[in-house]
Chain A
Amino acid sequence: MSTLRDWLRRELQGIIPRDALFGPVGFGRLPTSVTAAANKLPAPDAAGALDPSWLVAKPGGNLAVDGNFDFWLEGISGTLSGVGPDTMWANGHLGSTKVVSRQTFALGDTDGFDDSARYYSRTVVTSVAGAGNYACKVLRLEGVHRTAGRRLALSFRGRVDSARNIAVSCRQYFGTGGSAEVLGIGSQVVALSPAWQKRVVTVDIPSAAGKTIGAGGNDFLAVYFWFDAGTSYATETANLGQQSGTFDLAQVKLEIGQATPYRAPHPADAAARVARYFQTSYPAGVIPGTAATWGGTLKFDVNTSEGGYAYAQSGFPFKMRAAPTVSLYHPQTGSLSKCGTRYTPSTEIAATASDITDNGFNRISGGSYALSNVYQAHYVADARL
């Protein structure tokens, strides 16, 4: 037995004829003696053929922002329908209910995966019968044009409490004022089991020729993971149907073309990508709206030339996708729509952000701000699709 590296070295040294690699079957032909598992590669088929994309795979190229479920900036569990608690995901339901939570892999759990992972996302669905009822998990990819007219490979690790199907499909949303949404693209069911399994599906995204994209810049391709779907969604979910259950997802990757192994991004790269959509001044691990440190807060001072306002001394660390929705919190108490000063740290002063752009917000108002004082507030800026 030899590792792939050993085998390639021997091939380069002429020990193994090049035809063994670039043989009559074509690129990607491997001798069956290669220990694929040691290199996190799929086993070659009986003829020794290996999907060539595995040999040319490079880290990156994942269109999904935080497919690794590393970012839970607003909390690590939630029951609402909408974006979060996994920061870059939307978790929708109607009629049926669900609990979405961050779960942690034990060390060694991901040894058989393409790459290591710390977290996965769990959705526990309680199905309620109803034609219009559903529960799903959605990834929105900025810019509907990026994937239009292309074949996408969606790969992910999935696990369920007992053998059952989920469904995947895509929607093209052309933004406010744009062409009508296209639903049910590539609808198909995917079978999962109680053991972690990697699944790869391909979806052909329709061309956007003849479509109009709205001027607001909020167009996207949505990738749906359906867990529970009433009959109203039969077409869009390939007749998945309704079901309760526990659904775990990890290492979601979306690529143009063929699927390649999952590669976890460097934390700094991942953080920068997420920051285009969501930023907070709170320290890592601190849920917005809770009592916290004054460190990292935005600061505002007072200009006597325009009463009633305090002006920001800095902007967002990263430029955002669009002007975000901003929420302010008192640094010490965590109260919403409040700011404070270090001079009287427990005093809460009303604060509402305005002049909001993708670079920051210019001022706060709503409170009584004194000359020469510096006011501080934690913020959450949300520019997610």
Chain B
Amino acid sequence: MLQYIDAGDSLTLDGMCIPKDPGNRHYDETLAAVEAGEAEILPAPGPTLAAVAAAKLASIQAEKCRVRDGGFFVGGVLFDSDQSARTSYLELVLRFQVEPGFSTRWKASAGVWVEMNAALFAQVQAAGTSHMQAAFTWQEARDAEVSAILAAVAAGTMTDAEARTAVEAVSTQFE
């Protein structure tokens, strides 16, 4: 029996995309075949487990990047942590190595200015490192959850449907 896939505004069969247009010969023949019991129209299958997992990992990665680049607080002041800011912090490290007493006005984040010196920078560096590590630790844990689910399916201890549900349940929100 021929099995057509319902793809919303069209049917698919063997690579043909058949619009649900009564003027279309293939659609007309499909309906006749279905009526004659020679064909059936099946609902579109969902994405594969691998695709679901890949999409989840992509979402986790995006959330990690959002958190990593979203800034961190030192003494109630928000400091930027995007790529540009991290490059500037690296420049400060080099400057303090050759001139430990260096001090300058520093734009911590939009509209927030501080007096940056070695003492404050030490706090910023510690808080920034902790912030980054937290983001990556969170991502590693979520990735591990997804990997464990896929491993369970491979080991036969979890069905595909159970795995889909479990993957969907993996958080993509940084706590």
Known contacts A218-B28, A353-B10; A326 and B22 CB within 8 A of each other: no
Contact partner of A327 among B15, B19, B21, B24, CB < 8 A?
A: B15
Q: How far is the CA of A141 from the CA of B41 in the complex (A)?
A: 30
Q: B22–A324 contact, CB under 8 A?
A: no
Q: Within 8 Å of chain A (Cβ to Cβ): is B25?
A: yes
Q: Within 8 Å of chain B (Cβ to Cβ): is A303?
A: no
0 or 1 for each of B101-138: is its CB under 8 Å from A? (1 = yes): 00000000000000000000000000000000000000
Q: B15–A218 contact, CB under 8 A?
A: no
Known contacts A216-B28, A356-B10; A323 and B15 CB within 8 A of each other: no
Known contacts A176-B28, A218-B28; A352 and B23 CB within 8 A of each other: no
| Overall SS of chain B's interface | mixed
Q: Total interface residues on A, using CB and 8 Å?
A: 29
Q: Within 8 Å of chain B (Cβ to Cβ): is A110?
A: no
Q: B18–A325 contact, CB under 8 A?
A: yes
Least distance between A253 CB and chain B CB atoms (Å): 24
Q: How far is the CA of A216 from the CA of B10 in the complex (A)?
A: 16
Q: B8–A354 contact, CB under 8 A?
A: yes
Interface set, chain B 10-46, CB cutoff 8 A to A: 10, 12, 14-19, 21-28, 31
Known contacts A216-B21, A353-B10, A354-B10; A325 and B15 CB within 8 A of each other: no
Q: B22–A176 contact, CB under 8 A?
A: yes
Query: Within 8 Å CB of A137, what residues of B?
Result: none
Contact partner of A326 among B8, B17, B27, CB < 8 A?
A: B17
Query: Within 8 Å CB of B19, what residues of A?
Result: 323-326, 356-357
Q: B24–A323 contact, CB under 8 A?
A: yes
Q: A336–B15 contact, CB under 8 A?
A: yes
Q: Total interface residues on B, using CB and 8 Å?
A: 20
0 or 1 for each of A316-353: is its CB under 8 Å from B? (1 = yes): 00000111111110000000110000000000000011
Q: How far is the CA of A36 from the CA of B16 in the complex (A)?
A: 52
Q: B17–A325 contact, CB under 8 A?
A: yes
Q: How far is the CA of A321 from the CA of B23 in the complex (A)?
A: 8
Known contacts A354-B9, A356-B10; A217 and B23 CB within 8 A of each other: yes
Q: A354–B17 contact, CB under 8 A?
A: yes
Query: Within 8 Å CB of A269, what residues of B?
Result: none
Least distance between A225 CB and chain B CB atoms (Å): 20
Q: How far is the CA of A177 from the CA of B24 in the complex (A)?
A: 14
Query: Within 8 Å CB of B31, what residues of A?
Result: 176
Q: Within 8 Å of chain B (Cβ to Cβ): is A159?
A: no
Q: Within 8 Å of chain A (Cβ to Cβ): is B7?
A: yes
Q: How far is the CA of A357 from the CA of B23 in the complex (A)?
A: 11
Q: A382–B17 contact, CB under 8 A?
A: no
Q: Within 8 Å of chain B (Cβ to Cβ): is A355?
A: yes
Q: B17–A327 contact, CB under 8 A?
A: yes
Q: Within 8 Å of chain B (Cβ to Cβ): is A271?
A: no
Least distance between B137 CB and chain A CB atoms (Å): 28
Query: Within 8 Å CB of B15, what residues of A?
Result: 327-328, 336-337
Known contacts A353-B17, A356-B17, A356-B19; A324 and B24 CB within 8 A of each other: yes
Query: Within 8 Å CB of B23, what residues of A?
Result: 216-218, 321-323, 383
Q: Within 8 Å of chain B (Cβ to Cβ): is A149?
A: no
User: Closest residue of chain A to B31, judged by CB?
Assistant: A176
17 contacts between A and B (CB under 8 A): A83-B25, A216-B22, A216-B28, A218-B25, A323-B23, A325-B25, A326-B19, A336-B14, A336-B15, A353-B17, A354-B8, A354-B10, A357-B19, A382-B26, A383-B25, A384-B25, A385-B25
Beyond contacts A176-B22, A327-B16, A357-B19: 19 other A-B pairs, Cβ-Cβ < 8 A, are A83-B25, A214-B22, A218-B22, A218-B28, A323-B23, A324-B19, A324-B24, A325-B24, A325-B25, A325-B27, A328-B17, A336-B14, A337-B15, A352-B7, A353-B10, A354-B9, A356-B9, A356-B19, A356-B21
Interface residues of B (CB under 8 A from A): 7-10, 12, 14-19, 21-28, 31
